[in-house]
A and B are shown apart, each in its own frame.
Chain A
């Protein structure tokens, strides 16, 4: 079996908050293969972003890793020192955030934002760094890269700023790109352009992408596999076409029917009653049981269900799937 690029095993993360301890991630496990697009989907507060930030050890101080391990290329991330992490971040693993305005340093020119990462990770300086930075701007299809190089971030539109962020993230040829809702603040037409750009760039290189989004349609357009999360637990995972064709968890089915899509005819949307539960004293067992119409009292609200294989890669965690 080929080695996994990234493996997350039984990861549990909790946050100290003024209301008590919030159990944000509850024993989640997943892996990313080389050259793979993995989508993580879920509603707000389900732990998508926390699971990505824990890969880079970027969690805030209130966070506690309770349990589990994270292996990147076979090495444990949780055991690494801050100095080692700094080399990893932006080098082997990079991240693109939702808001390009706050991800770029506003007091530095666009070019310096890129050169900084080249200097830190690859020791490239001076004219060579400038040449590489302009090359990167050209790669992400920014028109007039030489002019843009010496402009400030605020002079660029949101879509152009996000292109710059992508250029920075890809400058050091990472093996894993974490894309955290990176098209959410953009207009649909710009979103489609940016997504296509990253798909094209990924095809030209050996890079895996961990794509975090609340938009299942975007995942269907670019990911190989996806994970559906709810309130800090994984509900279902598998190849994108299999999961969308044969959603096996009640939550996935409800979620798919709750999306108003332009390809729908006039059928009624399926709403899910209630809202996502608070994570301080979360529901016991499967956390979706409080909103699930098919719950089995005495089981769903007691223990988390075990893994059920639907096919080779398709897995779901639900008591209804076995007896």
Chain B
């Protein structure tokens, strides 16, 4: 397959200063060793709890953070297309309140084509606005005149206008109501279609990721613990954390409060966290080796890999 972003051994540590005057600085390991490929034309979902490093990963991919260690290789600049763009969660703070919709959407075009003459873009911008469901008379209005859902449409128009290779969506529908969220999700699905545009879709809402994405990566404490094709992950989750996470997602159904897999809270084992598997202290299927060596990537089936010693040893 044709990958457009290739991530190797990526780490991002943030310093946490001690409150004492000459206290020792500790490190918050937001991303702690990630290997990942983003394929051309795929919609990759990244799920995980808050603090698992989803957003940091998105920012690293966009080049908004410099990695502490590891590399991110981008391919396909030679096509003359814009590399990447982004849609953030909050459409109230991600649009410049003093620019009209026209100016907001024009900016990426100018930066790609290196020209400052706006009027030539008028038709391009109009087409894009129509595509995301906005009309011509809304073109010269300001963001405050729009509702949350419409603002997110403007942000999406800005993201797609210069035909990027991939777009990072960071919780794009979390601030929206269910009925409006469905409009935006359907729009994103339509825009993607069968084009070679790739999505990196970050969300804590697993239902949303399942609807949009073709492949899903599950993150836990700065690491990817499992990657799998969309339906495969729900039919056959392999990592115990993925199983726990999926079991906790509420579903409309009449058998109530019966699904959650309860784990005994075990005391955190810091030695295991630094040497072995990050999930060791909570893991119901842990082995001795999990405490000493970090799990390696294990391909259970084609396109479904998991970082878990127990699964690997079971299948040997």
Residues on A with beta carbons closer than 8 Å to the beta carbon of B246 = 262
Contact of B177 among A221, A241, A256, A276 (CB under 8 A): A276
Q: In the complex, which residues of chain B have a beta carbon less than 8 angstroms from the beta carbon of A263?
A: 251-253
Contact A269 B250 (CB under 8 A): no
Q: Known: A143-B265, A263-B253, A271-B183. Contact between A196 and B49, CB under 8 A?
A: no
The 8 Å CB contact of B182, one of A216, A272, A291, is A272
Q: Is the CB of B207 within 8 A of A271?
A: no
Q: Say yes or no for A11: interface residue by CB 8 A criterion.
A: no
Does A83 touch B at the CB level, under 8 Å? no
B256 is an interface residue with CB less than 8 A from chain A:
yes
Query: 0/1 per residue, A138-174, Cβ < 8 Å to B?
Result: 0000010000000000000000000000000000000
Interface 1/0 per residue, B172-195 and A, CB below 8 Å: 000001111111011000000000
Asked if B34 is at the interface of the complex by the 8 Å CB criterion, the answer is no
Per the 8 Å Cβ criterion, residues 29-46 of B in contact with A are none
Q: Which residues of B in the span 226-257 have a Cβ within 8 Å of any Cβ on A?
A: 234, 244-254, 256-257
Query: Do the beta carbons of B206 and A262 come within 8 Å of each other?
Result: yes
- The tally of residues in B whose CB lies under 8 Å from a CB in A reads 38
| Contact, CB under 8 Å: A259 / B207 | yes
Min Cβ gap B41→A in Å is: 17
For this complex, 24 residue pairs linking A to B, each with C-beta atoms less than 8 Å apart, are A188-B248, A189-B49, A189-B244, A190-B49, A191-B250, A214-B177, A216-B252, A220-B253, A221-B250, A221-B256, A245-B254, A255-B179, A258-B182, A259-B252, A260-B182, A262-B206, A264-B210, A264-B211, A268-B186, A269-B211, A275-B148, A275-B150, A276-B177, A276-B179
Q: Is A270 an interface residue when CB atoms closer than 8 A count as contact?
A: yes
Query: Of all chain B residues, which has the CB nearest A258?
Result: B182
Question: Which residues of A pack against B, CB within 8 Å?
Answer: 43-44, 143, 187-193, 195-196, 199, 214-218, 220-222, 240-241, 244-245, 254-256, 258-264, 268-273, 275-276, 291
Option from A256, A268, A271 in Cβ contact (under 8 Å) with B252:
A256
Contact (Cβ within 8 A) B250 A215: yes
CB distance from B124 to the nearest CB of A (A): 26
Contacting A at CB under 8 A, from B134-170, are 147-150
Q: Is B289 among interface residues, defined by CB-CB distance under 8 A?
A: no
Q: How far is the CA of A214 from the CA of B250 in the complex (A)?
A: 12
A residues in contact with B206, CB < 8 Å = 188, 262
Query: How many angstroms between the C-alpha atoms of A58 and B206 in the bound complex?
Result: 35
